[in-house]
Amino acid sequence: MAGVVVQDVTKMFGQTVAVQDFSVEIKDGEFFTLLGPSGCGKTTLLRCIAGFAHVTKGKIFIGDRLVSSEDQRGFIPPEKRNLGMVFQTYAVWPHMNVFRNIAYPLKVKRFPERELRERVNIILHLVKLDKLEGRYPNELSGGQQQRVALGRALIMNPDVLLLDEPLSNLDAKLREEMRFELKELQNRIDVTIVYVTHDQSEAMAMSDRIVVMEQGRVHQIGTPSEIYKKPKNQFVASFIGKSNFLRAALLDVKDGILRLKIGSSGIIEVKWRGHMTGEEVILMVRQHNVEIFKKKRENTLPARVKLSTYLGDQFIYEIAVDRDTIRAQVHEEHHYSEGDEVYVRLRNPILFQ
């Protein structure tokens, strides 16, 4: 097991910057996730760590070893970095059964047959495939194929396991199940994991820390709780969690209480410890922090229900607040209908300028 250190890494393809000035220290045994929209540079960075791509600038260390640098003198090829990697498409051999797929790296290294079989049997049990060793990929479910790819990546006892959106091809229910299995597996084998995804639920459920990326740049690095509760900017707030944004005019500040005017709808008060200047702010509130009332209450805004969606254990409402539309996620038994005039209270808002 080893950590990964990325120092001021930039990766360019011609004149296009894929990753820019990226730095992070990933600890031994940490589950670290690269999170961001498609094209943000997360897979490119993973490929640089793996050795499939050369950095344009900067350095990468795995443990104490320099494995990549801009002058290429410190470059160590992928096969000598002691890494395991699982790709989005799994890349399992269709003509090999489960046992032979997992054993393939040992075959290439010419391991003795007895040691090879012992190692494979251990991994088969670890990834819960010990009763399926004779099956071929076309006889396996998507989740089972993913376990084959994981087993093959783990068979050489890698220092670091690199996972490039390994759950994206699974259905929603299986994807959720595999999140727990992956985290449980990491706890059992105590390996450092660098995980790539654009799915914020995956990142929140499994990660020790997350880096939120956009256009090759780092917006924020922190624990799931830190990023969710204290987003550094609007992009992070919008990408992590289900958020609403409202434009507001800052009327005055007194003793940590801000009075905000939302369009022409009304005035609310917000407790805020940070420093606010200027006349305009953006107010962010999570969908589950929007309360709906039939009658006016303290610190509420007049609104109108535009759309109601029933999801079994909850309702999702689209609500017009002056010129803006927000969403509310509520578990109340009372049901509001389209066109209802209501009042909303915005709990625990975060402000941006």
Which pLDDT belongs to residue 277? 67
Written as six digits, the tokens of 111 are 């391991």
pTM over 0.95: no
Which pLDDT belongs to residue 178? 81
Residue ranges, comma separated, of all CATH 2.40.50.140 domains in the chain are: 242-352
Which pLDDT belongs to residue 236? 95
**If pLDDT is split at 50, 70 and 90, which confidence band does 275 have?**
low
Q: Which of 25-39, 155-169, 325-339 has the highest mean pLDDT?
A: 25-39
Which CATH number is 4-237's, of 3.40.50.300, 2.40.50.40, 1.20.1240.10, 3.30.1360.10?
3.40.50.300
Residue ranges, comma separated, of all CATH 3.40.50.300 domains in the chain are: 4-237
Contact 163, 87 (CB under 8 A): no
Nearest alpha-carbon partner for 24 in 3, 47, 51, 41: 3
Measured N-to-C along each axis, helices 142-154 and 98-108 cross at an angle, to the nearest 10 degrees, of 20
Q: What share of the chain is helix, strand, coil (3-state, %, to 5)?
A: 25, 35, 35
Contact 83, 90 (CB under 8 A): no
The answer for 323, left when phi > 0, alpha when psi is -120 to 50, beta otherwise, is alpha
Q: Residue 333 above 80 pLDDT?
A: no
Over the stretch 213-223, which tens digit does the pLDDT of each residue have? 999 999 999 99
Distances (CA, A) of 182 to 173, 202, 211: 15, 11, 19
The answer for 188, left when phi > 0, alpha when psi is -120 to 50, beta otherwise, is alpha
Which CATH number is 242-352's, of 3.40.50.11720, 2.40.160.40, 2.40.50.140, 3.30.420.40?
2.40.50.140
| Percent of the chain with pLDDT strictly greater than 90 | 59
Distances (CA, A) of 97 to 134, 145, 152: 5, 11, 12
